[in-house]
Structure 1
Amino acid sequence: MSLLRDENLGGRERPRPTLHELRATPETVHWGYFSASRAPSLRVASGDIIRAEAVTHHAGDAPELMMDASVQAIFDGVPIEDRNPGVHILTGPIHIEGAKPGDILEVRYLQMTPRLRYGSNLAAHWGHLYRDFGKERVTIYRVDEACQTAEAVFAYDFPGKYEVPGTITTEKECCRMPALRGVRVPVRPHLGTAGVAPDAPGRVSSIPPGKHGGNIDNWRIGAGSTMFYPVQVDGALFSIGDPHISQGDGEISGTAIEASLDVIFQLFVRRDFQFPSPLLRTANSWMTHGFDEDLDLAMRGASLDMLELLTEHYRLSRDDAYSLMSVATDFSVTQVVDGRQGIHARICTAVFPPDGQ
């Protein structure tokens, strides 16, 4: 039942955590990949708190609104030929002292704040319905901080295909068009991509999600949530990126509202339990994730991991767990646009007796 409790330090007083700052610069980001061989941008101890910058690779969709001098420096300082094989700007990696393969990295996301008031949604050629539209379209949104909503301020048709990560588009005023007049969407800042380095040679693309985390695109990975990532290499080498200010399940057009975030999180190395895939804890639920190019197989992966959560950590029998999964677990499509598609399974903690939480 250790997964269901806070980190257990055997009765010892937990040491006071150190607060670290990790700015996103050309030297502290890696664009488009995770790598077990990349030198850490920061070294911390278990329990430390990090205040880090997560920068969107879509800042160039409206550079006058979505870039400041520091963001511009990243776009200028990381050559296009070094932005591969994926597309996301990742801040890190962070080496956590003592983390070893087989451990679990617990990440408590404490705060996520938009860096600027604007974000971009791209209806992209990798979007689910691109064949029905035959073009790419950018919609720029503005955040209303008082209401915690976002509204579209203008849109434009992207010239050609968005194929170069970090493309900067200076669209003309005459090309702008109104969009979604009167519509407001809730702001729910979260990280589309975050995770540990996979145990694999060379660069691993930031686009597909996997056992290491990566591009999960679950909008619930925001402030107040906790993620558990299986550590695969020494030090875990944790990175964050692909920040969003809102997204629906499915991310059907190809992106969320992409916008840079300032993120505060706390890291713990856990050795008192194991779990096979990225696991999410929110204020009132648990979520398991399944990934595969085949959505049916992604569903099976999320189901088997939920079965493991219920049997190994809530001590239900397999038969009881299977019944509970059918009557109380919600299975939803996380995203269908990252090549490797995602399913998340959610069970509310209120269904369990209080001593089981």
Structure 2
Amino acid sequence: MKHHLLPVSPKTVHWGYFSKVVTPALTLKSGDRATIETLTHHANDDYERMIEGDPGAESVFKWTREHKAVVRRGSGPTEGPFIRGSGEGVGVHLLTGPVAIEGAEPGDVLEVRILDVRPRPACKACYAGKCFGSNVAANWGFHYHDLIEEPKPREVVTIFELDTSGEPFAKAVYNYVWMPQTDPDGILHPTIDYPGVCVDHATIRKRENILPNVRVPARLHFGTMGLAPSEEDFVSSIPPSYTGGNIDDWRVGKGAKMFYPVAVPGAFFSVGDPHAAQGDSELGGTAIETSLTGDFEFILHKHRDLGGTPLEGLTHPMLETADAWSVYGFTFPNYLAELGANAQLDVANHSSLDRAMRDAFRKLRRFLMTVHKMSEDEAISLMSVGADFGVTQVVDANWGVHGTIRKNVFRCD
């Protein structure tokens, strides 16, 4: 076993997409471990707290009229003309990687073990021991067209604080209503429509003493983690799919194991969208978006060895914790294959929890019948009395439902 370090820099991150053609930032073998740094794409909501003084973050977020450290920001083209900015197709998340796995081939399954997760502390002396994150009630949120207070519509950014010494709670510091921002290239952003735009705090009004009696339990996890799909060279980071991606499940944290079907040689694993806390559904549009560092272990399961194991026939992401197994249902299990040439744009027009629930049911039924050798009738009965289905997220274009079966329902004797 070898332990690798993958820090953030303009050469080790890619912004807003998964890709099978990007040069890997790291190549390792099955059984190796890696410490991987990740940055939140919302750090510029408060530059002073989340970027200033941090060499890695400053290098990635550097954007002036003369120089843009990370040009492509989404699955779109790098050549203009542009309306919102280069790479403006779709996709927003800062991802670290890709990490190539030696010997990985389509049909294999990659197991990713999350050994530890740590917050990335603020670097300014006045914020010593603190970590900050941003929660955005955004235009893509489930609530956006159902507001009851004025002004309507509005996008609101709430900045949260965590204690990096181990305090397991986040507390709100202040919030503000998004005001139109002009980026270094002179493009005006009336809404939050392009990742990495720096908010000029002279243009906003901070509202302090908010949520004064609320402490949010920390759930450090990675919202976006997975492998490169095979269908396109550049695939938006927003909709989750059969190789993982933006699943947004707070359970994907320390101690969890994620299993992904390999779609391309090398697997091409990427991770980002780090969160300090999130509830099921991620209703307003984001979690507490913060920067985290994770310790990971990678285990490659070859296709020839999958028979008779819980990974037999696995064609979708699956989570294992100490207590349970979870599968993920989506409106479209593989939207890239199902929706054709314009899939990355069209998927957001068809979001459905009904379809996601049915997909989760079918995947958990397959798991129980294949892994636990149940008949269909037995599996359906157990799902009704012993499984839990919940709304994972309703903000990522391809909506998600997770189906969870607890391990203690199975006898070990």
TM range (shorter): over 0.9
Counterpart CA distance in 2 for 1:71 and 1:81 is 20
Please state if 1:71 is matched with 2:101.
no
Amino acid at match of 2:59: A
Match of 1:324 in 2: 382
Deviation of residue 70 (structure 1)?
1.3
Please state how far the C-alpha of 1:39 moved relative to its aligned partner: 1.2
Aligned to 2:116: 111
Paired residue for 1:81, among 56, 80, 86? 86
**Identical pairs, percent:** 47
Which whole-Å CA distance do the structure 2 matches of 1:147 and 1:193 have between them?
24
- 349 and 26 in structure 1: CA distance in 2 versus 1, 3 angstrom threshold: same
Matched, 1:255 2:286: yes
Aligned to 1:129: 143
Structure-2 residue corresponding to 1:346: 404
2:170 to 150, 172, 189: 150
Q: Which runs of 5+ in 1 are unaligned?
A: 1-16
| One of 391, 394, 400 as aligned partner of 1:333 | 391
**Structure-to-structure mapping, 1:1-357, within 5 angstroms:** 17-67=1-51, 68-76=54-62, 77-79=69-71, 81-82=86-87, 84-116=89-121, 117-133=131-147, 134-144=153-163, 145-159=165-179, 160-172=190-202, 175-178=205-208, 179-271=210-302, 272-273=305-306, 274=312, 275-292=314-331, 293-354=351-412
TM-score, scaled relative to structure 2: 0.80
Quote the Cα distance in structure 1 between the aligned partners of 2:55 and 2:320. 36
Compute the displacement of 1:354 (Å). 1.8
- 2:145 is paired with a residue of what secondary structure? helix
Q: Please give the secondary structure, in 1, of the residue aligned with 2:369.
A: helix
C-alpha distance in 1 between matches for 2:232 and 2:286: 28
TM-score (norm. length: structure 1): 0.92
- Equivalent pair of 1:142/1:151 in contact (CA under 8 Å): yes
2: CA distance between counterparts of 1:84 and 1:148? 37
* RMSD of aligned residue pairs (Cα, Å): 1.3
CA contact (8 A) 2:31 2:299 kept: yes
In structure 1, what is the Cα distance between the partners aligned to 2:324 and 2:169? Answer: 24
Distance in 1, Cα, partners of 2:105 & 2:46: 41
Instruction: Give 1:241's aligned amino acid.
Output: G
Amino acid at match of 1:42: L
Q: Which runs of 5+ in 2 are unaligned?
A: 63-68, 72-84, 122-130, 148-152, 180-189, 307-311, 332-350
Question: What is the letter of the counterpart of residue 99 of structure 2?
Answer: I
Structure 2 CA distance for aligned equivalents of residues 247 and 82 of structure 1: 28
Which structure 1 residue ranges, 4+ long, deviate > 2 Å from structure 2?
A: 82-85, 144-147, 271-274
Q: In structure 1, what is the Cα distance between the partners aligned to 2:5 and 2:168?
A: 26
Secondary structure of 2:191's aligned partner: coil
Contact 2:5 2:36 survives alignment (8 Å): yes
Aligned partner letter, 2:326: M
Contact 2:176 2:204 in 1 (8 A): no
Shift of 1:112: 0.7
- Number of matched residues? 339
- The CA distance in 2 between the partners of 1:132 and 1:319, in whole Å, is 41
Q: Is the 8 A contact 1:31 1:84 kept in 2?
A: no
In structure 2, the CA distance between the partners of 1:223 and 1:342, relative to structure 1 (3 Å rule), is same
Q: CA deviation at 1:81?
A: 1.4
- Inter-partner Cα distance in structure 2 for 1:50 and 1:264: 6
User: Using the alignment, how far apart are the partners of 2:61 and 2:168 within structure 1?
Assistant: 29
How many Å apart are 1:246 and its aligned residue? 0.2
Deviation at 1:174, TM superposition (A): 7.3
In structure 2, how many angstroms separate the alpha carbons of the residues matched to 1:62 and 1:245?
16
Q: CA deviation at 1:147?
A: 3.0
Residues in 2 aligned to 1:226 and 1:318: alpha-carbon distance in whole angstroms? 27
CA displacement at 1:308 relative to structure 2: 1.1
SS at match of 1:326: helix
How far residue 149 of structure 1 moved from its aligned partner, in angstroms, is: 0.2
Structure-1 separation of matches of 2:42 and 2:352 = 28
Task: Indicate the residue corresponding to 1:8 in structure 2.
Answer: none
Q: Is the 8 A contact 1:58 1:166 kept in 2?
A: yes
**Mapped contact 1:31–1:83 kept (Cα < 8 A):** no
Q: What do residues 80-113 of structure 1 show as CA deviations (whole Å, max 9, x unaligned)? A: 5146530001100011011100000000001110
